[in-house]
Chain A
Amino acid sequence: MSEVVAVIDYGMGNLHSAGKALEKVASGQQILITGDADQIRAADRVVFPGVGAIRDCIGVLRETGLDEAIRDVIAAGKPLLGICVGMQALMAHSEENNGVDCLGVFDGEVAFFGEMQDETGSKLKVPHMGWNQVQQGMAHPMWAGIANNARFYFVHSYCVTGMSDDEVAGFCDYGRRFAAAVTRNNVFAVQFHPEKSADAGLTLLENFLRWQP
C-alpha cells in the first residue's frame, strides 16, 4: 500500500495549487484532497493549507470537527505541514478580525504588520507580497537541499510573533523580524507558499514527503 498524503479541504481558497505541487514531487504517494476527518486521521501525512481570514478558517475547522482531527494527527506523531493561514491557525491567538483564539498547538501570537517604514523612510506595503529571504534558524531535514536565505513567495498581512527561538525554523524580515517557519516534533509550518515558490518550494514539499520525524 502506498502512503496517503491528505491535503485538508475546509472550503477555504485554492487547494489545488498545493495538491498539484505535491503531485509533481510525489514518488508513489497518493495525494488526497479531503475534508473528511476520518480520512485525515487515517492518512500517513497531512498538509494543512489556508488562505483568507482567520475567523472564517477557525470557525469552519471547529464546526466540521477538523480541529480535533488535526490535534489527533499531531498526537499520533504523523508529519503535519501547515501553510500560510494553516500555520497561523496553529498559534494560540490572532489579532485579525478583532481577535480570534486559534488551535494553540504553538504559543505564538499572530499580529498585523502595521504601519511600518523601510530603511529609506517610505511606508512598507501590506500585504507583504512577493519573494523574500528565509534565514534558517536551525538545521532541519525540511531544509535539505535548500540554501540558507533562499527566497520563497509570501502573501500575508499578519505574521507570527512571540515564539521561543528554539521552535523557529526560519526567520524573515519585513519591517520586523518574524517567524517564517516553525517546528516542534512532527509539526512543521511555514508562512510562505512552497507550492508557489518554484524550485525552493518544490524541494521543501519533497522533503516533507520524505520526512521521518
Chain B
Amino acid sequence: MGLAKRIIPCLDVDDGRVVKGVQFVDIRDAGDPVEVAKRYNDAGADEITFLDITASHEGRDTTLHTVERIASQVFIPLTVGGGVRTLEDIRNLLNAGADKVGINSAAVHNPEFVREAAERFGSQCIVVAIDAKKVSAESEPNRWEIFTHGGRKPTGLDAVEWAKRMTDYGAGEILLTSMDRDGTKNGFDIALTRAISDAVPVPVIASGGVGNLQHLVDGVIQGGADAVLAASIFHFGEYSVEEAKRFMQNAGIEMRV
C-alpha cells in the first residue's frame, strides 16, 4: 500500500498536431493530440506530458486551444512545457486546463522566474525541466552540466547544484532528461537520476533513453525516480502502457493497475 510510481507518455506537439510520429498499431491518423491523449488515458497512463515545440507566435494560441480540448476530455493530470517564459504564459496554460507547467531555458536565463512562478501559482504546478549532459572524464567522479538549445549550449551550471537550487526556489517537481541518452534507447542515465533524486526533496521524473521495459524498472529501482517518462516505445506500439505497468509491478514496484 502506498504511493504508486507513475508512467508518463510524452507528446511533442507542433501547431496543434502531434509530431515525431505517434503511430498506434491500430490507428491510422494519430496526429490529433486529443485523440492520442485519450488513448493514453484509456490505457492507464498516470499523467500526460505535452511538449509544445511550436515556434510561431500564432501557434501559441493553437496550443492553448489544444490544451483546452484535451482538458475537457482527459481527466488525468496534464503537464505542458516548451517556450514558457512569462507569468502570463503560465497563467494562460493553467486557465486552458494544464495542471502543471514545465519551465526549462527561462529558468536558466532568469532563475528568479521560478521563484515568482511558484509564489504566484503554487509549487505544485511548477515543474523545472533540466537537460543534463555528463562532462566528467571516465576516471573522474561523475559531474553533469546543464545544457540548453537541445543540448548544444553548455551553461557551466552543475546539474545537481542546479536541481537543488530550483527546488529551493519553489519547483514542485524536476523533469530530468539525460542529453547523452535521449533518443538512444540505451536506458536512463542511472547515476545521474540517482544523484538528482537523492539531492532534492521533491519528486523526480526520469527521461531520455528508454528502449525497453527493464529500463523503466531500472529508473525507479536503481535511479530512485518517482516517475518515468517515455515517448517512442509507446508511440509506435512497441509496448503498451498496460504492459509496462504489469512489468514494473512484477518487478516489485507499486503501480496503479
Contact call A129/B4, Cβ cutoff below 8 A:
no
Contact call A131/B71, Cβ cutoff below 8 A:
no
Contact call B75/A128, Cβ cutoff below 8 A:
no
Q: Could you write out 11 A-B pairs with CB less than 8 Å apart?
A: A14-B97, A16-B96, A17-B71, A20-B97, A122-B224, A125-B202, A127-B203, A131-B3, A196-B75, A196-B76, A198-B41
Cα A157 to Cα B172 with chains together (Å): 10
Interface stretch (choices A65-73, A98-106, A148-156): A148-156
Cα A195 to Cα B125 with chains together (Å): 15
A143 at the interface (CB under 8 A from B): no
Write the residues of chain A forming the contact surface with B, with a CB cutoff of 8 angstroms.
Answer: 13-14, 16-17, 20-21, 23-24, 51-53, 118, 122-123, 125-133, 149, 151, 153-157, 173-174, 193, 195-198, 201-202
Contact call B75/A157, Cβ cutoff below 8 A:
no
Report which of A51, A149, A201 forms a contact with B1, defined as CB distance below 8 A.
A149
List of A residues within 8 angstroms of B98 by Cβ: 14
Report which of A123, A126, A202 forms a contact with B75, defined as CB distance below 8 A.
A202
Cα A141 to Cα B250 with chains together (Å): 35
Closest-by-CB residue of B relative to A153 is: B77
B21 at the interface (CB under 8 A from A): no
B241 at the interface (CB under 8 A from A): no
> Shortest CB–CB separation between residue A91 and chain B, in angstroms?
18
Interface centre among B5, B75, B95, B123 (most CB of A within 10 A): B75
Q: Is the interface of A mostly helix, strand, loop or mixed?
A: mixed
Closest-by-CB residue of A relative to B96 is: A16
List of B residues within 8 angstroms of A127 by Cβ: 123-124, 172-173, 202-203
Q: Is the interface of B mostly helix, strand, loop or mixed?
A: loop
What number of residue pairs across chains A and B have CB atoms under 8 A from each other? 101
Report which of A13, A118, A125, A202 forms a contact with B122, defined as CB distance below 8 A.
A13
3 tightest A-B CB contacts, nearest first: A52-B122, A131-B256, A131-B4
B156 at the interface (CB under 8 A from A): no
> Shortest CB–CB separation between residue A58 and chain B, in angstroms?
15
List of B residues within 8 angstroms of A20 by Cβ: 71-72, 75, 97
Contact call A125/B203, Cβ cutoff below 8 A:
yes
Q: Which of B44-59 contact A (CB under 8 A)?
A: 46
List of A residues within 8 angstroms of B201 by Cβ: 123, 125-126
Contact call A129/B226, Cβ cutoff below 8 A:
yes
With A51-B124, A196-B99 known, 19 other A-B pairs at CB within 8 A are A13-B94, A13-B125, A14-B97, A16-B71, A16-B96, A20-B71, A20-B97, A125-B202, A125-B226, A127-B173, A129-B124, A130-B5, A132-B3, A132-B4, A133-B2, A149-B1, A151-B256, A174-B3, A195-B75
Cα A165 to Cα B82 with chains together (Å): 45
B206 at the interface (CB under 8 A from A): no
Contact call A196/B124, Cβ cutoff below 8 A:
no
Contact call B3/A51, Cβ cutoff below 8 A:
no
List of B residues within 8 angstroms of A154 by Cβ: 3
Contacts A129-B203, A196-B99 given: A14-B94 contact, CB under 8 Å?
yes
Closest-by-CB residue of B relative to A126 is: B201
Closest-by-CB residue of A relative to B72 is: A20
> Shortest CB–CB separation between residue A15 and chain B, in angstroms?
9
A-contact 0/1 string along B197-231, CB 8 Å cutoff: 00001111000000000000000000010110000
Cα A196 to Cα B75 with chains together (Å): 5
Interface centre among A20, A174, A202 (most CB of B within 10 A): A20
> Shortest CB–CB separation between residue A104 and chain B, in angstroms?
23
Q: Which of B89-131 contact A (CB under 8 A)?
A: 94-99, 121-125
